[in-house]
Amino acid sequence: MTNDQIPLSDADLREILALFSSPSKYEHAQTYQPGSGHFYEDEDLSSEYTLTQEKREFAIDAWRAVISFLHRRKYSLWREGVQYDTSFIEDLFVG
């Protein structure tokens, strides 16, 4: 095990932001399609982002974005000695 920090590039941050703001399965699929309105490479990290949702919805969106990002990159999750398969994330995007 390592305690090294996982480096995040601007491309990584754009992808996480796009996943965070794409809660539906349709929008999630568009995150990786060039030319779509949700394509992560088109995110402008210097622009302002305004939240207008309940804190619970915010927390769920953040969780979904992070787990989806980690799943796509083949990271594993461990909690209290149990390893979790991150493929469960596909079911957390709303229809």
- Mean pLDDT across the chain, nearest whole number? 89
Please give the average per-residue pLDDT across 49-56, as a whole number: 87
Please tell me what DSSP assigns to residue 43: -
Q: How far is CA 95 from the centre of its chain?
A: 17
Which residue type sits at 15? E
Return the structure tokens found at 65: 């974005």
Taking the domains of the chain in order of start, what are their residue ranges?
A: 10-40+54-92
User: Which tens digits make up the pLDDT trace of 67-92?
Assistant: 999 999 998 888 899 998 888 888 77
Dist CA 44 CA 37 (whole Å): 13
Sort strands 82-84 and 77-79 into parallel, antiparallel or unpaired. antiparallel
Which residue type sits at 7? P
Return the structure tokens found at 74: 């083949």
User: Which tens digits make up the pLDDT trace of 28-44?
Assistant: 999 999 999 999 999 99
**pTM of this structure:** 0.82
